[in-house]
């Protein structure tokens, strides 16, 4: 009804009187003032017309049939909202009682009959002015209330003097409560907020009153429908002119939606969209936080990197859908295995990272790692497929001396890489050797490039001895690196790297030339039968022009090809078997011998052994080393030797360190051996001395020297 009244250009007045004359008299008087007028004959009619037309003012007689002015007044007021229409009562009864009764019924003013027109007009004008003022306040209030509604906000006020707390309607609406339920606002908070939150609000307001600093806190409200609301609460002090605190005034705002939106964004930032596990960002943040707490570091934090082995195969074979589902399944299983204090994150496509708390011992971490490995090795059924996967787990543990985030991450990663290198499906703790290993590899690669130019490589020779006669039949050429700082470096430290980088081709070529040159020299000195064994790596062997290279060396050094023995490994012969066989055949046509090195340590395919054109089988140190004095643990060595015999091959047994090793080899029909017992690999000059003492020269020179020695002995 207010809207109709407030939007009118000309005020509409309702005149209510049962007496026709009086009614018309007032009507005309008002019309002459420029107002629009409507009339009613009794209180009932007035009530209905007020409802229908929303007049800007009502001028109403008291004494009327059907419904008197008082009753009508009460009825009209009952229909109204906050903005009240001014009601001017016309009373013929100039007594205090009827005036009071008029006000009690809701009238705003009264005037005594018979009406003094001048005063009457003045009263009407005043009434309308007051209504206009009320209207503006009301509209202001409504605008504010609307704005509060949009902002989901309400205000409150606490009066220090009276200790009265007031909540605006918006707060009640916001918290889904009514004034009837909670006439005392404090009760509303007590019921809907947790005891802790109520205490926090009290403490915050207490501090504001004491120190004058505004407070802002956020707390929860539990609505009757069990929904949780997040409320932002802000309050400030209000002081009088004398600077005394008179009230505390604040707002409460429902920020649930904003909070949820922020939560959603936070979730997207910190969680993996596929598995819903924490992502790399959250993992890093959590680790950083954990590392800033000395007690957690001392109690031991284990950092685990898990990388799925060959996960690509699952995607390739079953499709990405199955791959994704499998990742979700594994993520859930991982999450179930850890404690609530631990964290598992997905940090890469097929990589997870964990932070485990309170793991101070290797055993503790080992226990968890074993459990985790089991998750993977279980058989998983998904979309009708049975999937099996393994994982590589790298682990590192913090200590007060080892708590740098990037160092720890590097350690866990190195350990995981290490597991990958040895085939996966294991866990491994970080150790310092891993760093030096990784570091060395880079340095070695760089320095090795210069080693050849600076002439730092050497060839050492290890004699190969006849089992029955004890005479030197030949020698294996073994490369050494005379490093300017490190001294003599074993091939174990650089051959693999050289193979990876391809430097082995150059190194192998140099060894070949050097060994052939040296051997030819010994031949010319009278040791004509010496056979030099030269190790050939797979890369070198599969070079386009390897045969030509050998021919060139033979040509340049003048060595007899029958005195060359090339040691090839099983892995070397595995690639492109037909081509390998044809190259080997070509060598044998030239008179060059072929040995199969490291037999039994690799793939060991017997059918392959049968196909390859070979001369010698080298029995690896692994089969000789464990043979004891009683000849036990020699079953495999025995088998290999007898197998070689069946295939018409000679054998050279490696790693002979004990006399009983020789006895065993002799007993089982082995031909030659090499090992520390006779001699370690030695430089050419020392080898020469050994040759001399071994008494194997064939030429006259040898005869002379022998006879000289015999002579000396006999003297
Ligand atoms: P390999 O060809 O199996 O060589 C035999 C290795 O056993 C040599 O190690 C030798 O010193 C060692 N050895 C011999 N007798 C004994 C013994 O009684 N006890 C023990 N514990 N060890 C013994 P080395 O010289 O360190 O060479 C290691 C490996 O490096 C060689 O194994 C070979 O695979 C590779 N290698 C060495 N020189 C060359 C080369 O010029 N070219 C290529 N491609 N590889 C080479
Ligand atoms: Mg060898
Ligand atoms: Mg060997």
Instruction: Please indicate whether residue 601 or residue 503 has the higher confidence score (pLDDT).
Output: 503
36 vs 3 pLDDT, higher one: 36
**DSSP-based three-state secondary structure for 570:** helix
For a mutational test of ligand 1's pocket, the pick from 535, 651, 672, 675, i.e. the residue with the most ligand atoms closer than 8 A to its C-beta, is 535
Q: Which atom of ligand 1 is nearest to the CA of 540?
A: 44
Pocket test for ligand 1, best of 462, 491, 538, 655 (most atoms within 8 A of CB): 491
Ligand (nearest to CA of 492): 1
Q: How many C-alpha atoms does 705 have within 13 Å on its Cβ side?
A: 16
- Is the predicted pLDDT of residue 710 greater than 50, yes or no? no
Percent of residues, the chain, with pLDDT higher than 70: 94
**pLDDT value of residue 636:** 79
Residue nearest to atom 12 of ligand 1 (CA): 655
Among the atoms of ligand 1, which is closest to the Cα of residue 504? Answer: 44
Q: Residues within 5 Å of ion ligand 3 by Cβ?
A: 597-598
Pocket test of ligand 1: the residue of 501, 549, 654 to mutate, having most ligand atoms within 8 Å of its CB, is 654
| pLDDT tens column, 73-108 | 999 999 887 778 999 998 875 677 888 898 999 999
* pLDDT above 50 for 27: yes
Which pLDDT score, from 0 to 100, does residue 438 have? 58
Mean pLDDT over the full length of the chain: 88
Distance (Å) from CA 478 to ligand 1 centroid: 6
Helix (H) or strand (E) holding 37: strand 36-40
Residue 603 in this model has a pLDDT that exceeds 60: no
Residue 709 pLDDT more than 90?
no
> Residues 207-243: pLDDT tens digits?
998 888 899 999 999 988 888 999 999 999 999 888 8
User: Residues with Cβ within 5 Å of ion ligand 2?
Assistant: 535, 567, 597
Nearest CA to ligand 1 atom 23: 655
| CA 597 – ligand 2 centroid, Å | 6
Question: Which ligand is closest in space to the CA of residue 513?
Answer: 1
Give the residue whose CA is nearest to atom 46 of ligand 1: 535
State the Cα–Cα distance between residues 413 and 416, nearest whole angstrom. 5
String of b and e for 336-369 (b: at least 16 CB within 10 Å)? eebeeebbbbbbeebbbbbbbbebeeeeebeebb
Q: For a substitution probing ligand 1, which of 463, 478, 502 has the most ligand atoms within 8 Å of its CB?
A: 478
152-260 fold: Beta-Lactamase (3.30.450)
**59 Cα distance to chain centroid:** 78
pLDDT at 705: 41
678 CA distance to ligand 1 middle (Å): 15
pLDDT at 501: 84
Q: Which ligand approaches the C-alpha of residue 511 most closely?
A: 1
Residue ID of nearest Cα to ligand 1 atom 20: 655
Q: Could you write out the DSSP letters of every residue in 246-311?
A: EEEEEEEEE-HHHHHHHHHHHHHHHB-TTT-SB-HHHHHHHHHHHHT-HHHHHH--EEEEEEETTH
587 exposure class (CB count in 10 Å sphere: 0-12, 13-18, 19+): buried
Q: How far is the CA of 674 from the centre of ligand 1 (A)?
A: 11
**Nearest bound ligand to the CA of residue 491:** 1
Going across the sheet that includes 302-308, the strands are 343-348, 351-356, 302-308, 391-397, 426-429
Q: Are 650 and 617 in contact (CB under 8 A)?
A: yes
Distance 462 CA to ligand 1 centre (A): 9
Name the closest ligand to CA 515. Answer: 1
**What CATH class is the domain 271-442?**
alpha beta
Q: What separation in Å is there between the alpha carbon of 617 and the centre of ligand 3?
A: 10
Across 176-195, average pLDDT: 92
Proximal ligand: closest to the CA of 655: 1
DSSP assigned state of 563? G
Fold (CATH) for 2-147: Rossmann fold (3.40.50)
Indicate the range of 49-58, 296-305, 432-441, 583-592 predicted with least confidence.
Answer: 432-441
Residue nearest to ligand 1 atom 21, measured at CA: 655
Which residue's CA lies nearest to atom 10 of ligand 1? 681
**What fold is seen in the domain 457-697?**
TIM Barrel (3.20.20)
Residues 418-466 have pLDDT tens digits of 888 777 788 999 887 666 565 566 778 888 888 988 999 999 999 999 9
pLDDT for residue 715: 33
pLDDT > 90? residue 546: yes
Distance between CA 331 and CA 391 in Å, rounded?
A: 13
Give me ligand 2 centre to Cα 134, in Å: 109
Q: What is the pTM of this model?
A: 0.49
Residues lining ligand 1, CB < 6 A?
462, 478-479, 490-492, 495, 504, 508, 511, 535, 537, 567, 597-598, 621, 654-657, 674-676, 681
- Expressed in angstroms and rounded, the spacing between residue 476 Cα and the centre of ligand 2 is 7
Residue 372 and residue 306: Cα distance in Å, rounded?
9
* Distance of CA 568 from the midpoint of ligand 3 (Å): 9
Atom of ligand 1 minimally distant from the CA of 657: 18
Q: Which of 175-179, 210-214, 397-401 has the highest mean pLDDT?
A: 175-179
Ligand showing the shortest atom-to-Cα distance for residue 620: 3
CA 682 to ligand 1 centroid distance, Å: 12
User: How many Å lie between the centroid of ligand 2 and the Cα of residue 575?
Assistant: 19
CA dist 31 and 446 (Å) reads 111
Each domain of the chain, given as residue ranges in start order, spans 2-147, 152-260, 271-442, 457-697
* pLDDT for 601: 58
Work out the pLDDT band at 178, boundaries 50, 70, 90. Answer: very high
- Given a cut of 70, whether residue 41 has pLDDT beyond it is yes
């Amino acid at each position: 009804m207010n809207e109709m009244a407030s939007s009118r250009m000309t005020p509409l007045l309702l005149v209510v009187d049962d007496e026709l004359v009086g009614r018309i008299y007032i009507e005309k008087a008002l019309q002459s003032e420029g107002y629009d007028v409507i009339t009613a004959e009794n209180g009932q009619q007035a009530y209905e017309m007020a409802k229908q037309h929303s007049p800007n003012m009502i001028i109403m007689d008291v004494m009327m049939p059907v419904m008197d002015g008082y009753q009508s007044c009460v009825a009209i007021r009952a229909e109204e909202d906050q903005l009240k229409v001014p009601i001017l009562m016309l009373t013929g009864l100039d007594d205090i009682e009827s005036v009071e009764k008029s006000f009690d019924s809701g009238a705003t003013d009264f005037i005594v009959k018979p009406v003094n027109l001048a005063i009457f007009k003045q009263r009407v004008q005043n009434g309308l002015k007051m209504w206009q003022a009320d209207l503006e306040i009301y509209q202001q209030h409504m605008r504010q209330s609307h704005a509060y509604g949009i902002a989901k906000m309400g205000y409150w006020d606490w009066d220090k003097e009276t200790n009265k707390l007031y909540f605006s309607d918006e707060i009640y609406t916001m918290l889904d409560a009514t004034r009837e339920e909670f006439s005392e606002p404090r009760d509303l908070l007590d019921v809907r907020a947790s005891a802790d939150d109520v205490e926090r609000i009290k403490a915050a307001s207490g501090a504001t009153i004491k120190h004058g600093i505004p407070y802002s806190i956020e707390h929860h409200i539990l609505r009757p429908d069990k929904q949780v609301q997040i409320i932002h609460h802000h309050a400030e002090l209000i002081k009088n002119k004398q600077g005394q605190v008179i009230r505390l005034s604040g707002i409460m705002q429902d920020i649930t939606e904003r909070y949820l939106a922020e939560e959603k964004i936070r979730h997207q930032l910190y969680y993996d969209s596929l598995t819903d596990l924490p992502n790399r960002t959250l993992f890093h943040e959590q680790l950083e936080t954990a590392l800033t707490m000395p007690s957690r570091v001392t109690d031991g934090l284990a950092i685990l990197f898990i990388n799925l082995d060959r996960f690509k195969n699952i995607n390739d074979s079953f499709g990405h859908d199955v791959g994704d589902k499998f990742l979700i399944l594994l993520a859930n299983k991982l999450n179930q295995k850890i404690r609530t204090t631990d964290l598992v994150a997905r940090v890469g496509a097929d990589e997870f990272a964990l932070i485990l708390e309170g793991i101070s011992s290797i055993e503790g971490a080992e226990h968890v790692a074993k459990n985790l490995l089991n998750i993977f090795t279980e058989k998983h059924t998904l979309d009708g497929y049975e999937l099996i996967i393994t994982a590589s787990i790298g682990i590192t543990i913090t200590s007060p001396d080892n708590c740098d985030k990037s160092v720890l991450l590097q350690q866990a990663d190195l350990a995981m890489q290490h597991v990958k290198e040895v085939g996966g499906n294991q866990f491994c703790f970080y150790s310092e050797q891993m760093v030096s290993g990784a570091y060395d590899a880079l340095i070695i690669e760089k320095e090795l490039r210069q080693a050849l130019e600076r002439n730092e490589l050497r060839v050492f020779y290890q004699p190969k001895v006849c089992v029955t006669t004890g005479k030197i039949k030949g020698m294996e050429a073994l490369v050494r690196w005379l490093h300017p700082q490190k001294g003599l470096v074993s091939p174990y430290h650089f051959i693999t790297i050289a193979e990876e980088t391809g430097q082995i081709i150059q190194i192998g070529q140099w060894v070949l030339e050097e060994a052939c040159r040296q051997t030819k020299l010994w031949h010319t000195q009278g040791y004509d039968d010496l056979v030099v064994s030269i190790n050939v790596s797979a890369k070198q062997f599969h070079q386009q022009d390897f045969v030509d290279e050998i021919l060139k060396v033979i040509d340049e050094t003048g060595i007899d090809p029958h005195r060359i023995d090339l040691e090839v490994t099983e892995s070397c012969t595995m690639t492109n078997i037909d081509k390998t066989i044809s190259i080997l055949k070509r060598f044998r046509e030239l008179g060059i011998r072929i040995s199969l090195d490291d037999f039994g340590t690799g793939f060991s395919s017997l059918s392959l052994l049968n196909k390859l054109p070979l001369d010698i089988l080298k029995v690896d140190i692994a089969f000789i080393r464990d043979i004891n004095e009683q000849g036990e643990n020699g079953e495999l060595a025995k088998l290999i030797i007898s197998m070689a015999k069946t295939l018409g091959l000679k054998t050279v047994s490696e790693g002979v360190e004990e006399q009983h090793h020789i006895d065993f080899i002799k007993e089982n029909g082995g031909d030659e051996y090499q090992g520390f017992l006779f001699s370690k690999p030695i430089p050419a000059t020392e080898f020469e001395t050994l040759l001399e003492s071994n008494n194997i020269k064939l030429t006259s020179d040898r005869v002379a020297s022998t006879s000289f020695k015999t002579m000396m002995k006999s003297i």
